Amino acid sequence: MAPLLQVDNLTIRFPRAEPVGNLSFEIEQGETLAIVGESGSGKSLTALALMQLLPRAAKIANGHITFGGRDLTKLDAREMRHLRGREIAMIFQEPMTSLNPVMTIGRQIGEVLKVHEKLSGKAARERAIELLRLVRIPAPEKRVDDYPHQLSGGMRQRVMIAIAVACKPKLLIADEPTTALDVTIQAQVLDLLDTLRRELQMAVVLITHDLGVVAQWADKVVVMYAGRKVEQALPGDLFNDPLHPYTRGLLAASPRLKHDFHYRDGALTEIPGSIVSAVGEAGCPFRPRCNQARASCSHHVPQLIVPAADRLVACPFTTSLKAVPHAAALSL
């Protein structure tokens, strides 16, 4: 069976930059794919590209996004609107500003139902109350008439989730859904997302820079650096045996995982330099920050290779035992 969403060689270009290059990944129905990377790695732009909501200056220069057998990059505005909110939904990083301050949350939830399911005002309100209950908001009959400023950040993000799942989408894109929230609320919101994923049989693209989130909730992980996929693996494999130097750096810098993995005894480290150093570099984008860089790294962008089953990595000098070229792997 074809995957629900397949991204092939996606390249996003600004007039003077290429924030996402040759990115490919796929998601099966009901699966959670985590895209991990630091700010500026192109993960949010990738999410917006899936929604076809890129900023005006950004263009999809190359590649295909196939969703349910249709190439989203070829749909016209009307067809795409038909999918947004109904089959593909998205929640954003900032619950404080992502809701309209002058509209009750009930009407904001109801709006998406009115647009896609042509519900009447009354029916939409009923459904909004149900949805508020679904996202575990207490006293939904009262809350439905509240304005966003009357709710806490966690509650607002639940409202955002209610809006996103209102039409039972097949794919939910969550762009850093918990970054702006208190640590105690983060787990609750992610648990809710995961429960809803199972109940509604949605696939979830979870965009995050938090490896703790990945370890707990993802089925599959894509690590991005400077707009490129540098590693892909199942979470267990990734944490037990990270292959790309960047992934290793990320794990070493991540405090929450240390009791689980073999970094437990080492001190927390940070990756020297910043992602800005990748701009305008030929060759491997991570080379300026990599402690294993060799002269050949600056010649060309490393190909993705398949070091083991269900794994991809974009570094030829990885410590893995068996390396098979990417092209050969695809034919398997």
Binding site for another protein (CB under 8 A): 51, 53, 81-86, 89-90, 92, 94, 97-104, 111-112, 115-116, 145, 147, 149-150, 160, 163
- Nearer residue to another protein within complex by CB, 34 or 51: 51
Pairing label, strands 220-225, 228-233 = antiparallel
- CA 174 to the chain's CA centroid: 6
Assign residue 84 a region (left: φ > 0; alpha: ψ between -120 and 50; beta: otherwise): beta
| Pairing state between β 5-14 and 59-67 | antiparallel
Q: Which is nearer to another protein, 101 or 280 (CB)?
A: 101
How near is the Cβ of 51 to another protein at its closest, in Å? 6
Burial of 59 (0-12, 13-18, 19+ CB in 10 A): middle
To the nearest 10°, report the CA torsion of 241, 220, 61, 51: -150
From the CB of 92, what's the least distance to another protein, in Å? 6
CB count within 10 Å of CB 301 equals: 15
Q: How far is the CB of 255 from another protein (least distance, A)?
A: 14
Q: How far is the CB of 94 from another protein (least distance, A)?
A: 5
Residue 323: CB minimum distance to another protein, A: 37
Token duo for residue 203: 């696939």
Instruction: Tell me whether residue 99 or residue 233 sits nearer to another protein (CB atom).
Output: 99
* Cα-only R_g, the chain: 21
